[in-house]
Chains A and B, each alone.
Chain A
Amino acid sequence: MLLSFTFHFDAGKTIAAGFKDSLIEMITFIPALFIIVGLFDVWVSKEKIQQHIGQGSGIKGIAIVILLAMLQAGPLYGAFPVAYILWKKGASIKNIFIYLGAFTSFKIPMLGIEIAYLGIQFTLVRTLVSLPFFIGIGYFMEWYLKDKDFKVNTIG
């Protein structure tokens, strides 16, 4: 980036501006996500997770992961560590992927911005249309990975 500043000033400047925007997004949201992950790890017991969003948790489990995702904020890659902790604590495959889906589209802070820019009608239709797809993907992944020794890794 420094090199491009010297040789190709415009490119470097644009990339730097994009970097700054993404950095702001990361700095505002990601640390909060990790605080959640850390507290989650310590406070919520494995039994509780297994009972509420583990195998055979049904509709209530789906509702819980969607609600959990809605209360968060930040880019999708910030949700991967949360997915790791959910998996580690025994959440079902289905619920992990429903969580990821809901995280992409139903975060309340983002919905607020979406309503402000695109209107309540667009936002409502988009979320309602998306919801069954996320749940469907969750079920599909569970079926697809049933006998495949699915695991989530942590980094570092």
Chain B
Amino acid sequence: MGLKRGWFMFRNILVPFLNILILVSIALFLIPPSIISRYLGPESGALGLLIAAVVGSITLIPGFISYPIAKGLITQGASYAVVATFMTTLMMVGVVTLPLEIKYFGKRVAITRNLLNFAAAVIIGLVVGMVL
């Protein structure tokens, strides 16, 4: 009964989810990890933080790919603040998934949540950078 209900919900959502996946893949192609590494490197500074936040917000990289990227950034000498901001916006802010989020929560709530989380991610990144 419960399984059946879950399955029905899953089936209804499969097509919107697959559309999201296609958008995500295209975004990943347009902003490949190699470019991300180049712009978020050691000498990126405050601009790097901003780029990290914006790129992290737009793209939606699966966790098991984003962690190796983050590791690579740190090895290359990127600051913890930049990496923490990047990881946090990746997870918390989703421009690509915004249409889906709007369907669930409505336009105002979805946009407010993303804006709030964007601001929070930058502050989280800065604080993490200060602590580490």
Interface residue ranges, A against B (CB under 8 Å): 1, 11, 14-19, 21-26, 30-31, 34-43, 75-77, 80-81, 83-84, 97, 100-101, 104-105, 110, 113-114, 116-118, 121-122, 125-126, 129-130, 133-134, 136-137, 140-141, 144-145, 148, 150-156
Contact = CB atoms under 8 A, between A and B. Distances in A.
B12 to A, nearest CB: 3
B92 A117 contact: no
Interface of B: 1-7, 9-13, 16-17, 20-22, 24-26, 28-29, 32, 60, 62-65, 67-68, 70-71, 74, 80, 83-84, 87-88, 91-92, 94, 97, 100-101, 103-106, 108-109, 112-113, 116-117, 120, 123-124, 127-128, 131-132
Given A30-B10, A77-B97, A152-B105, A24 B62 contact: yes
Contact of A37 (B9, B20, B84, B124): B9
A117 B75 CA distance: 11
Given A101-B92, A126-B128, A145-B109, A155 B12 contact: yes
A66 to B, nearest CB: 15
A100 to B, nearest CB: 7
Given A77-B94, A129-B131, A25 B64 contact: yes
A36 B67 contact: no
B5 A18 contact: no
Contacts of B116: 137, 140-141
A31 B13 CA distance: 11
Contacts of A126: 84, 87-88, 124, 128
Contacts of B91: 76, 104-105
A15 B92 contact: no
A77 B6 contact: no
Contacts of B97: 76-77
Closest 7 CB pairs of A and B: A38-B6, A156-B12, A18-B25, A42-B2, A18-B28, A19-B25, A39-B2
B106 to A, nearest CB: 8
Given A25-B62, A155-B16, A97 B80 contact: no
B26 A15 contact: yes
A34 B26 contact: no
